[in-house]
Amino acid sequence: MTQRGWMYGGALVVAITAVMTAQERTTRRADVPRTWDDAEIARHEVPLAVAAASPKHVSADYYYRIPVRPIYKSYPVYAHGREPAGYVDWLKTQEPVVLWDGTATAPRLETDADWIRAGELVFDAPLVMDVNFAVEDVRSAAWLAHTGAPVAAGGTLPWFQYVVRKKGVVELGSTSCGFCHTRVDARGGVLKGAQGNLPIQRAVAFR
């Protein structure tokens, strides 16, 4: 075999190994640790100088009895001039869909890839509806000009989501993890987990 043949052969072995490793990583069942552990929580913080004044965290028993906040299916929010024709009217015809509610309704959670997708779902899930921001705000040219919010390549404002919790009622969801940690770069790319660049204070001031 020629030197070039050895080089190609070696590259092929490396590529196959990388693919097999990636497949194993995305097909094996994820090992997810328990989130709230009393012993770990107790040693999480250094006690204050006055020990009696140190914070007392809730117990694991209490934590795991807190009702699960349901996550509804959400829809993209488009900037002024980028929204498909009839989009909001179409949203009003959609039935409410719960994707995750802590009971039998949950995404598939078998592999690392499943958990990554589920994590993104939680990351984007809004905590409040129509608070500080309104549907008519984000759809207006005045709001876009006042805030200077960057628009993603697909025409969306990725910090917000439209949510239908009752058929015929379209709410503007915000204050998700992604609300503060989603960034639109200069080319319109959306970076999740980065330092966010929605001008939040200008957006709140508009209302």
Q: Which two tokens stand for residue 155?
A: 């025409």
CB atoms under 10 Å from CB of 157, counted, come to 26
pLDDT at 121 over 90: yes
Residue 1 confidence (pLDDT): 46
pLDDT tens digit string along 153-189? 999 999 999 999 999 999 999 999 999 999 999 999 9
Residue 109 or residue 151, greater confidence:
151
- State the chain's mean pLDDT as an integer: 87
DSSP calls for the chain: --HHHHHHHHHHHHHHHHHHHHHHHHHSBP-PPPS--HHHHHTTSPPPSSGGGS--PPPHHHHTTSPPPPEE-EEEEEPTTTSPTTHHHHHTTPPP-EEE-SSS-----SBHHHHHHHHHHHHH--SEESSS--HHHHTSHHHHHHH-----TTSEEEEEEEEEEETTEEEEEE-SHHHHHEEE-TTS-EEETS-----HHHHHHH-
pLDDT tens digit string along 74-101? 999 999 999 999 999 999 999 999 999 9
Q: pTM above the 0.85 mark?
A: no
